[in-house]
Amino acid sequence: MDLIERFINYTKFDTQSQEDSQSVPSTPKQLVFANYLKEELEREGLADVYMDDKGYIYATLKANSKKKIPTIGFISHYDTSPDASGKDVKARVVKNYDGKDIILSEGIISSPEKFPELLQHVGEDLIVTDGTTLLGADDKAGIAEIVDALCYLRDHDEIEHGDIRIAFNPDEEIGMGAHHFDVERFGCEWGYTIDGGDLGELEFENFNAAAAKFTIKGVSVHTGYAKGKMVNASRLACELNAMIPESDIPENTEGYQGFYHLLGIDSHCEEAKLSYIIRDHDRELFADRKNFMEACAARMNEKYGPGTVTLEMRDQYFNMKEKIDPNMHVIDIVLKAMQECGVPPRVQPIRGGTDGAQLSFRGLPCPNIFAGGVNFHGPFEFVSIQVMRKAVEVICKICQLTAGYHD
């Protein structure tokens, strides 16, 4: 099956994950696609194909060399974002894109004026949606590229390589993809998530991340008799949120700048809850941000009485750079692979996190490489066929270069 045929076929499966679910995977429809993937890997002749009861899939392309070569792995997730529908995706190819508006459907236009990223792909063949769903290149493009690369290596025995492991998992989009990942079963010295964006992206720095939830206890009294008695939790919620510096929110930050992001407010006079995420690349600044949130709660309690505001805070993941820095050969191999494939590297920090960040802290150094998708999580998502093919080349070249790696 051709790379593009494979990818478009994948997009037909609705694999949207669900934030508030307690099951693994978070939606049963993800297992439909997982079972299909497992059968496809078996048909393609891969070894050790295994899927656990949570939908994590593992497989191996066996070494074609008797040399001692490190076992490496490639990982992608098959869930799509809860932010936009992934049902009934209608993918189509726009050949030789001319740099003008793309009419996705009647009245729905993808314009370079609004999405200037399109202009970087003039002359290329783009896969787009009909403007009513996301595409799912995040991260089905990564899966298609990994499978295609292993099929190529399988059919080209002249390219020397060691054991190559692959894994596909659910629920990355809700931050749970690595939670049930079996690092021991994966059995790799290092790995790569194929989950980045446009051509050449290479990411081995990400945010340190925490979640914070404030609960405000109010006192509800009839408004006609409220003086000196009522404590309006909704008003206190507004006051608490106003303590967050406007300079430190996602809308006003970029690059390495961290932020506090208000996810939502559930508010009534008697009780209010505010949910935040906290992000910073620097571990010390990250700690300062968490201390600031605690100080906000303390200030409110000092003003309105002990126990008025409670704060629950938990770490979510940390900056993988801490674990990649002692293993820079993992990055050097990618940079050389890109160079030999004619791909200009774009090394940049992730203003978010990946499964690889969590896996790096579980003993599997795991930076992130481009898969080609642009405008993730929405109906204007697209991917370049030429970029997808370059991703396949880079994966194959990484495997070849690893065969010549000496510790």
Phi, psi of 4 (to 5 degrees): -75, -40
How many whole angstroms from its chain centre is CA 348? 15
Phi, psi of 109 (to 5 degrees): -125, 135
Collapsing DSSP states into helix, strand and coil, what is residue 74?
strand
3-state DSSP percent of the chain in helix, strand and coil, to 5: 35, 25, 40
Under DSSP, the state recorded for 78 is -
Residue 79 falls in the annotated catalytic set:
yes
Phi, psi of 166 (to 5 degrees): -130, 155
Catalytic residue among 14, 40, 79, 201: 79
Length of the chain: 407
How many whole angstroms from its chain centre is CA 262? 20
Place of tokens 């063949």: 125
Phi, psi of 356 (to 5 degrees): -60, -30
Which residues, including other chains, have CB under 8 Å from residue 261's CB and lie 6 or more apart?
Answer: 249, 250, 276, 277, 278, 279
Place of tokens 């910073």: 280
| Rounded-to-integer distance, Cα 365 and Cα 333, Å | 13
Partner residues linked to 84 by β-bridges: none
Catalytic residue among 172, 203, 248, 280: 172
Helices first, then strands: H and E counts in the chain: 10, 18
Residue 172 falls in the annotated catalytic set:
yes
| Rounded-to-integer distance, Cα 11 and Cα 9, Å | 5
Count Cβ atoms within 10 A of the Cβ of residue 384 and give its class: 0-12 exposed, 13-18 middle, 19 or more buried: buried
List, by residue number, the catalytic residues.
79, 172
